[in-house]
A and B are shown apart, each in its own frame.
Chain A
């Protein structure tokens, strides 16, 4: 691969800048959102007690000093101690990460496994009943809010039909509803984009040529269409991973799934700065890494990307 090093280098530099920006924004926004100390103490706590706790948490120092300390420590992987859990924030967040990865990757895999074939079939059998049903469902999946889908699934699948547990994280059965809920949006987007992308390629000259050669339709789709339709699909799939991380906040709360999405929302309510900063930082890393991989994948799929 020609020019791989400069390519990698520029990507890494961009990733570092993105991480720094994300951390700074979170740092500032959290400080703007209010003081955690009144939330930690009983409402009748005396002022002296408030000052004592502020000092204990290092919140009495000037903001630039707090920021410098935060950046310095973050470079060493130290995000400070959680105000709520009273443990190192990094350890707290790492403890929640496996649950989110399990849910996110399952949702991601489900979305791809279900959406890709549906998108291709819808394109090939355009305007058939299959296409219309699938695209109708995709519209619902894309427009219904995550919590609504989640609660609907709990009511229908768990409560009325009694097929799966309502919430919690124990066996694979507990994973089905949350991952369908979380994956719904991505599934819908990928299915719709796959359909339009495949449709476009099906109209291309080289597909007409392939058909004229007498190739079977299955071979035309499999060999000549899919790879050419793949670039936009891969792009949207990578972007959908970010949506999944965002959706995890709601899905994990509805299904009581102990992951970093729920941790983030709780920590925001508790004004637990260190945990929020660490969660956002790790999510950003995850998102950047996935998109980095997608960038590399472009090169594999489309030689023109490599040479340009």
Chain B
């Protein structure tokens, strides 16, 4: 779900021009405090929709998660906290009871109740809703009951240990039944009404979205009066706007620009370890990639430390499996994926590899660092005697190949761990019938299916340990890096970035440093 970083020639050229030029003139002592009442954020693109059921893009959710609330709230530290539900518990195997927060008002003054929750979940699953982009999120839900205005009972089709996590991410935003029904989907999408900390004011397409503080927000009024979110598509001007002080916070800062921001007295960089991984996904059906020994050799030949240090300037970590750090059941005892070219050569020999061409297909800039990483990996593979080739393709071609499952060998994927659990990332993509289903293993499949439907976390943990062992032998993905997602900010901004690309500006996470 990492958003499209601009991929035309401009980007590289602009970055080059920016890097080649001297920095700004020395400025007077930088302001480390502020009296500002307005927060200005610049992101790489404009929003497409306010209706939270019509979008999953990161440019949109940065705004929609602040206009709307979910029943549960995923905090930047990765933990699930109460949102519009104050508590929830599982009764039996398939019945979840949510107690709702009382006294919550919508931005138009109406009272929030369980009927809104039922309406929201049912609508998210409605395939006849035009433009619905989230109807695969809550598919484990069988039906929703509302015994009283303050209680919601959700029955799942099978046991679903991750229901509270699902409700905390996109597809789970709660919208108002009465308002949406009375104004219709188009008006709702233009003039959203939520319960969140910010109220909608205006939207100038491809320019800015303006929101204002909801004074009676149940989580406390935010630390500013207005939020302006500007769309600044080019990275160099976005950084310039930050350095000049026109904006307070910018998204998607690449590592080299981060150093420039840090070198300026008034600005800083804040990063969150991405809630997901950058992997080379493998078409394990194509010889010689159907041979586990070949894949092991490829993985052992990648010097990930060097990639992190040189290409990412240290802004990332080396993964140890198919589970991202920060997720449930991440095993810290498992060592990072090793680099051992001698052993790689050995396994390649044993595999009977005969110099067949192995292709990495990559876009240039859709995923941060995809092309340079491909070239680095290609060189590393050639060093152990692999006939490696890099082929460039357009993002739309990638999307098409992804759909038709026609990749030639390896390709970059940046799976997001939407539920902060292996089920929501590895199993969602690699499981039977998933978008990256190119390899099957009976025991792996059995464990994955059992872990999905178990509400016993100990059992699930054991299953994922066993799956990790099988994964590391067969490598349906070759994980390469878990990068940091960096933001640039003024030093008077106190804010913690979110691993899943939300812009959490609620009271507990955002403050202007005042004099």
Residues in chain A within 8 A of chain B (CB atoms): 33-35, 38-46, 49-50, 52, 56, 84-87, 92, 95-96, 145, 147-148, 150-152, 154-155, 158-160, 162, 165-169, 250, 253-256, 258, 262-263, 266, 269, 271
In the complex, chain B residues whose CB is within 8 Å of the CB of A34: 394, 396-397, 399-400
CB-CB < 8 A to B17: which residues of A? 148, 151-152, 155
The verdict on A158 contacting B244 (CB below 8 Å), with A39-B396, A46-B136, A147-B10 known, is yes
Contact of B133 among A42, A44, A50, A250 (CB under 8 A): A42
- B340 interface hit (Cβ, 8 Å): no
Contacts of B353 in A (CB 8 A): none
* Further pairs besides A154-B236, A168-B208, A266-B45: 5, Cβ < 8 Å: A34-B399, A44-B434, A86-B130, A150-B237, A151-B14
Judge whether A256 and B233 touch: CB under 8 Å. Answer: yes
Instruction: Establish whether residues A41 and B207, one from each chain, have CB atoms under 8 Å apart when the complex forms.
Output: no
Residue from the list A159, A167, A256, A271 in contact with B243, Cβ < 8 A: A159
Query: Does B56 touch A at the CB level, under 8 Å?
Result: yes
Q: Given contacts A95-B205, A167-B237, A262-B233, are A40 and B4 in contact (CB under 8 A)? A: no
Q: Which residues on the A side are within 8 Å of B244 (C-beta)?
A: 158-159, 162, 165-166
When C-beta atoms are compared, the residue in chain B nearest to A38 turns out to be B399
User: For the complex, is B215 an interface residue (Cβ under 8 Å from A)?
Assistant: no
Q: Does any Cβ of A come within 8 Å of B13's Cβ?
A: yes
Instruction: Collect the chain B residues with CB atoms within 8 Å of residue A96's CB.
Output: 205-206
Residue of B whose beta carbon sits closest to that of A162: B244
Binds A, one of B18-26, B446-454, B498-506: B18-26
Check if A160 sits within 8 Å of B232, measured CB to CB. Answer: no
Taking Cβ atoms with an 8 Å cutoff, the residues of B that contact A are 1, 4, 10, 13-14, 17-18, 21, 24-25, 45-46, 48-49, 54, 56, 127, 130-131, 133, 135-136, 186, 189, 204-208, 230-234, 236-237, 240-241, 243-244, 246, 394-397, 399-400, 402-403, 428-429, 433-435
Other-chain residue from B10, B21, B206, B394 in contact with A266 (beta carbon distance below 8 A)? B206
Question: What are 17 A-B contacts with C-beta separation under 8 Å?
Answer: A33-B396, A34-B399, A42-B56, A45-B136, A56-B130, A86-B130, A147-B13, A155-B17, A155-B21, A159-B24, A167-B232, A167-B241, A168-B207, A255-B237, A256-B207, A256-B233, A266-B46
Q: Give Cα distance in the complex from A151 to B232, angstroms.
A: 13
A24 to B268, CA, bound (A): 50
Residue in A43, A92, A166 whose CB lies within 8 Å of B240: A166
A43-B435, A46-B136, A86-B131 given as contacts; is B206 within 8 A of A38 (CB)? no
Complex Cα distance, B396 from A39, in Å, reads: 7
A141 to B131, CA, bound (A): 45
